[in-house]
Structure 1
Amino acid sequence: MTESADRHDRFPGLRRRGFLAAAGGAAGFGALALAGCSGPEATGSTAGKGDGTPRRGGRVRAAFAGGGASETLDPHLGNLFADAARSKALFDKLADYGADLAAVPRLAEAWEPNAGLDRWNVTLRQAQFHDGKPVTAADVLYSYRRIADPDKAYRARASLEPIDLRASRATGERTVEFVLKRPTAEFPNVMAAFGTYIVQDGATGFDRAPIGSGPFRFVSFAPGRSTVLRRHDAHWDGAPHLDELEFVVANEESARINALLGGQVEYAHELNPATGRAHEKSGGITIVRLRNSAMQAFAMKTDRPPFDDPRVREAFFLLADREELVKGALSGAGETGNDLFGKGYEYYADELPQREQDIDRARHLLRKAGAEKLRVTLDTSAVAAGFTEAAGIFRDQAARAGVTVDVRMGSKDSYWKDILDSGTLCCYRSGAMPIESHISQRLLTDSTTNATKWQDKNFDALYRQAQSTRDRTARAALYTRMQRRLHAEGGFLVWGFGDWILGTASSLRGVAREAPANTLDWARFDKVWLA
């Protein structure tokens, strides 16, 4: 049996594409892997062509926006990109997301469901914490039960909802039986979810001397300023090339790029499109674009006028000039969408025809719906890059069909809460997650973050059927059926997918260039080195 076939046996549902992403990371949120416009093309691993042989030693300084004095190293409390990057360096999860958002193994060496998909047996690999103690089933169960504590505000709690943690048990030192509340074919996505890091059994304090099993061990932490970590030589995936890693807090984008240009840091996270374009060909630094990292959309409330009429929703799909929106709102740093989430991800229905602007057809549909002189309010905010620009561009596009769009500016502090239930049309953005997670969190009748108010019992039943289907091909066909429904009459007008832009020093090598932010290879500092 070949190694790849063996892994498919041990990880049911694991796609070859997802496995290659993991293998590439091991050889070399989120994930990075993309061709940096001024850097070398990637080859499928985290290192690009011409990166050379990895060298050991040195310290890399990485600049992120931070959370001020309230920052914590508790991996279950993090919400910011800086939190996620630090947690990834210090701790491990059972699984993480590959470049196509399929789950790939980390601390889990194998997983296998029962016939009913409501019990999953997980075998841990031989790994150890920074203090030399082995990672055990007791640590896994303690970590998940801590996250699921209803009295705590741990972000990953909702992700673990499918697990009956009272019934789940250790069946050996390195084996866990997870008992689920219902059949869940995509249970590996639960193990890969944001914030589901494994800590030591009984651990409570994390800011003074946190002990994880990640590739770096703790040295020092100054909230809102700096975190210094050192190589963990006994890491199961191999010791990092670097001696040390320092996370530096720089909240303003200008401060991050200036620190990179001035040589104070080697890595600057989250740069805007204008900055990326300005420095792509300068030669002093390398710009890395992480494709398909952020869905850009308008969300239509399907439970209220005028968008409770599917003809109006289809008309709005046809009003949008997606290329103009990407060029104007994202400064060209992205690609067009097709009214579906997850372009390039596992299960994405890329066989559906690309929707184009059709003003005449939009006018026809609006006439049939009795909405020829429709006037709607589009909620937007400066809460995310490109939102206000997209609102203005779409207002002008809609006017060509006689639709009046009134743009209303919302508060940056309360925008996401405000648009969840209020209004009828709003600007919307989402980071990378599996398509299954997008559906379960946003498109089912009981989803808690259902911004489009899409509620359809038949759609819910298709999702439950998919989660009860063991065969991946049959399951993919069900996801395609769901996406056909959404493409025809859903509430998300997905006009684009924005690039996530990073800047690195020319001396920093091995940065992944092929996958969205927030996947396995994003902020993968254990696989980079200094030339």
Structure 2
Amino acid sequence: MNNPPAHDHTANDPRFPGLRRRGFLTVAAGAAGLGALALTGCDASGPAGDAKTGDSAAAGGRPRRGGRLRAAFAGGGASETLDPHLANLFGDVARAKALFDKLADYGPDLSARPRLATRWEPNAGLDRWKVTLREAAFHDGKPVTAADVLYSYRRVTDPEKAFRAKASLEPIDLKASRALDGRTVEFVLKRPTAEFPNVLAAFGAYIVPGREQDFDRNPVGSGPFRLVSFAPGKSAVLRRNDGYWDGAPYLDELELLVANEESARINALLGGQIEYAHELDPTTARTHEGGGRVEIIRLRNSTMQAFAMKTDRPPFDDKRVREAFFLIADRAELVAGALSGAGEIGNDLFGKGYEYYDASLPQREQDLDRAKALLKEAGAEGLKVTLDTSPVAAGFTEAATIFRDQAAKAGVTVTVRTGSKDSYWKDVLDSGTFCSYRSGAMPVEAHISQRLLTASTTNATKWHHKDFDALYRQAQSTRDKAARAAVYARMQRRLHAEGGFLVWGFADWILGTARHVRGVETTAPANSLDWARFDKVWLA
């Protein structure tokens, strides 16, 4: 949801499709302490103001213009680039969002919302879509045209390049697609695709002018900010684009800084060196929440927390064993222990709160007696399994230990095996039988297409069922949304009963801001439009 994560040390972290976080899959090269970064520009802050209370746009009074906001993200060192089609890291995406736009992006429920596109209309067969562009201009004053869109998508899908959105754009036949006029594109698809707007919103599918450019020196996009300066691995300084189609930003300038260590980010925030700290851990949040020095923002339902059972090999090729493991899990204990309470329990389905998520299914509770009975029925009494985990992601090793102890109460011996952070995703994609797993926000449809179809390249549970594949094709060929939702519900009922993902929780994504920062959206999961977005933020 969007480009599927490839499980190796240079590819995407499946927590956040399309993104790779330095520090989860690679070892950060030392603490990039903000104190050593020669912070430029003044604080430009006003009085502390009131704490945020739900609706961020309303809290703190009327928005006002002015000032520079400094935001810190983990970074990628000297290899960082402003090429939006190469955005891998969270900091890369923050810069890309500031400088460029996509045709669509994801709302809080992970449904596609128009951006540079104002509308999209399918034909009766759902294999041709007419997309109408809004009147928008690039930073050089030239209009965004249908030709620019086709150029951008063809650039992304260049077989000689490794751009992140390439797999996401695969449904489009770009040779057959064409510009009907300056602001209308007809996309020809390889097969019926009811959720084609998700393709337009794909991670990394940014629109650039239809010509080669030097992205790192003079990037020309249609985004809310223009580049002032860029020092890879250190900072990017951006200035307000007064002609932005969605309204000029309130900030005069935005400075995106690199700090790989979480401790450096929170200390810089507490010390007044920055106004926005991305990606804080639950312990930090508990320490500072309500303390009056900084604001803690929790983006709910941002990451699925799970264990993946491989359904094509013993013991999990028996659906009774999978159901037993569903019933072994004490989800509340896992959330409290592995996430330090920063999340909510799951129900063995992806996408809680997202479009098409089936909330009607009963919440699964721990039932050790039923679990023991199922294991006995399956001839799996005294079962011994290995649970692969790694410190590749926060809470993984803790969750594995907690589940090991829970399983022991059902007579199951779980041996926890800790693997390498650098190779974990590649190792567990095909090897082993049972592993720690997590995923970032994406549409439910994309989770199914990338991870649960026979041909899915990141099918970690080896869920291979031709009838399930047929249901997905049926959904994608169904024009009526209610009827399509019914098909997705049918698929989710099956997964809830016998799937391979034991989804025990959904974690918060945690941000910190100075108390005078306003307009940071509090309801948008990570990976959605309003996450890491600064054109609607202001300094009170």
Q: Is the pair's TM-score, using the shorter chain for normalization, greater than 0.5?
A: yes
Q: Does 1:55 align with 2:53?
A: no
1:399 aligns with 408
Of 409, 426, 450 in structure 2, the residue corresponding to residue 417 of structure 1 is: 426
Partner of 1:21: none
* Secondary structure, aligned partner of 1:303: coil
Name the residue aligned to 1:69.
78
Q: Aligned partners of 1:371 and 1:514: how far apart in 2?
A: 44
CA distance in 1, matches of 2:426, 2:359: 32
User: Does the alignment pair 1:207 with 2:216?
Assistant: yes
2:250 to 228, 241, 249: 241
Distance 1:62 1:203 in 2: 30
Task: Decide whether the 8 Å contact of 1:142 with 1:201 is kept in 2.
Answer: yes
Count how many residue pairs are aligned between Structure 1 and Structure 2: 493
Counterpart CA distance in 1 for 2:228 and 2:379 is: 66
- In the alignment, what sits opposite 1:42? 54
CA positional deviation for 1:39: 3.7
Give the Cα separation in 2 of the matches to 1:339 and 1:203: 46
Aligned to 2:521, the other structure's residue is in SS state coil
CA–CA distance in 2 between the matches of 1:120 and 1:510? Answer: 35
Distance (Å, rounded) in 1 between the aligned partners of 2:212 and 2:514 = 37
Q: Which amino acid aligns with 2:267?
A: N
Conservation of the 8 A alpha-carbon contact between 1:63 and 1:249: yes
Other structure's SS at 1:159 match: coil
Report what 1:92 is aligned to: 101
Separation (CA, whole Å) in 1 of partners of 2:212 and 2:520: 32
Give, in whole Å, the separation in 1 of the partners of 2:323 and 2:242. Answer: 56
Amino acid at match of 1:146: R
Does structure 2 conserve the Cα–Cα contact (< 8 Å) formed by 1:295 and 1:342?
yes
User: Which residue identity does 2:297 align to in structure 1?
Assistant: V
Structure 2 unmatched ranges of 5 or more = 1-17, 20-49
Determine if the alignment matches structure 1 residue 259 to structure 2 residue 268. yes
Relative to structure 1, the CA distance from residue 177 to residue 268 in structure 2 (aligned partners, 3 Å threshold; closer, same or farther) is same
Residue 357 of structure 1: which of 339, 342, 366 is its match?
A: 366
In terms of fraction of residues, the more helix-rich structure is: 1
* Displacement after TM superposition at 1:203 (Å): 2.5
Partner of residue 146 from structure 1, selected from 155, 173, 185:
155
How far apart are residue 524 of structure 1 and its match? 1.5
CA distance in 2, matches of 1:234, 1:145: 27
- What TM-score do the two structures reach when normalised by structure 1? 0.92
| SS of the residue 1:441 aligns to | helix
Q: Deviation at 1:281?
A: 1.6
C-alpha separation in 2, matches of 1:204 and 1:299: 43
User: Structure 2 residue aligned with 1:157, among 141, 150, 166?
Assistant: 166
2 CA distance for matches of 1:144 and 1:40? Answer: 39
The alpha carbon displacement at 1:523 in A equals: 1.3
In 2: Cα distance, 1:83 partner to 1:376 partner: 39
- Is residue 488 of structure 1 aligned with residue 500 of structure 2? no
**Which residue among 509, 521, 529 is the counterpart of 2:518?**
509
Q: Which residue of structure 1 lines up, in the alignment, with residue 467 of structure 2? A: 458
CA distance in 2, matches of 1:301, 1:364: 21
Query: Distance between the aligned counterparts of 1:251 and 1:142, measured in 2?
Result: 34
Any conservation in 2 of the 1:118–1:181 contact (CA below 8 Å)?
yes
Show the counterpart of 2:386.
377
Using the alignment, how far apart are the partners of 1:262 and 1:500 within structure 2?
A: 22
Q: Residue 94 of structure 2 contacts residue 532 of structure 2 at CA under 8 Å; is this kept in 1?
A: yes
1:396 to partner: Cα distance: 0.1
Contact 1:39/1:288 (<8 A) preserved? no
Cα RMSD, aligned residues only: 1.0
Q: How does 1:74-153 map to 2 (within 5 A)?
A: 74-153=83-162
Deviations for 1:141-192, whole angstroms, at most 9, x for unmatched residues?
0000000111111111000000000000000001000000000000000000
Q: TM-score, normalised by structure 2?
A: 0.90
Map Cα deviations across residues 294-335 of structure 1 (whole Å, 9 max, x no partner).
000000000000000000000000000000000000000000
Provide Cα deviations, 1:438-490, integer angstroms capped at 9, x if missing partner: 00000000001000000101100000000000000000000000000000000
Which residue does the alignment assign to 2:24? Answer: none
Runs of 4 or more off by more than 4 Å in structure 1? Answer: none
Once the two structures are TM-superposed, the CA of residue 50 in structure 1 deviates from its matched residue by: 2.8
Q: Distance in 2 between matches of 1:503 and 1:214?
A: 24
1:127 alignment partner, SS class:
coil
Give the counterpart letter for 1:60 in structure 2: L
- Structure 2 equivalent of residue 467 of structure 1: 476
Q: Distance in 1 between matches of 2:199 and 2:187?
A: 11
Q: Deviations over 1:351-379 (max 9, x none)?
A: 00000000000000000110001000000
How much identity, in percent, do the aligned residues show? Answer: 78
1:58-104 deviation per Cα after TM superposition (whole angstroms, max 9, x unaligned): 00000000000111110001111111111000000000000000000
Contact 1:373 1:403 in 2 (8 A): yes
Q: 316, 319, 328: which one pairs with 2:325?
A: 316
Separation in 2, partners of 1:237, 1:400? 56
Match among 385, 410, 417 for residue 408 of structure 1: 417
Are residue 529 (structure 1) and residue 538 (structure 2) matched? yes
SS in 2 for 1:156: coil
The separation in 2 between residues aligned to 1:517 and 1:270, in whole angstroms, is 10
2: distance between equivalents of 1:101 and 1:401? Answer: 37
Separation in structure 2 between the aligned mates of residue 41 and residue 489 of structure 1, nearest angstrom: 41
Say whether 1:387 aligns with 2:396. Answer: yes
Distance 2:60 2:481 in 1: 37
Give SS of 2:165's match. helix
Query: In 2, Cα distance between the equivalents of 1:185 and 1:447?
Result: 18
Q: Assess if the C-alpha contact under 8 Å between 1:445 and 1:456 holds in 2.
A: yes
Change in Cα spacing, 1:39 to 1:487, as seen in structure 2 (3 Å) is: farther
CA distance in 1, matches of 2:211, 2:52: 45
Distance 1:77 1:504 in 2: 28
CA distance in 2, matches of 1:353, 1:429: 22
Contact 2:59 2:518 in 1 (8 A): no
- Which of 422, 444, 449 aligns to 1:440? It is 449
Within-5 A mapping of 1:210-359: 210-359=219-368
2:341, 2:51 → 1: CA distance?
Answer: 19
Partners in 2 of 1:54 and 1:404 — Cα distance? 57
Alpha-carbon distance between aligned partners in 1 of 2:211 and 2:139, rounded to the nearest angstrom: 15
Matches of 1:55 and 1:276, distance apart in 2: 28
Partners of 1:208 and 1:369 in 2: how far apart? 63
Measure, in 2, the Cα distance between the counterparts of 1:177 and 1:490. 38
The 1-side partners of 2:529 and 2:120 are apart by 18
Aligned AA for 1:145? R
Moved more, 343-352 or 198-207: 198-207
Tell me the SS of whatever aligns to 2:166: helix
Q: Give the match's secondary structure for 2:168.
A: helix
SS in structure 1 of the partner of residue 227 of structure 2: strand
Gaps of 5+ in 1: 1-28, 31-37
Confirm or deny: 8 A CA contact 2:52 2:295 kept in the other structure. no
Query: How many Å apart are 1:42 and its aligned residue?
Result: 2.1
> What is the rounded CA distance, in whole Å, between the counterparts of 1:151 and 1:50 in structure 2?
48
Determine if contact 1:228/1:247 at 8 Å carries over to the other structure. yes
How far apart are 1:515 and its partner, in Å? 1.8
Quick check: 1:39–1:287 contact (8 Å CA) kept in 2?
Answer: no
Q: Secondary structure at the match of 2:509?
A: strand
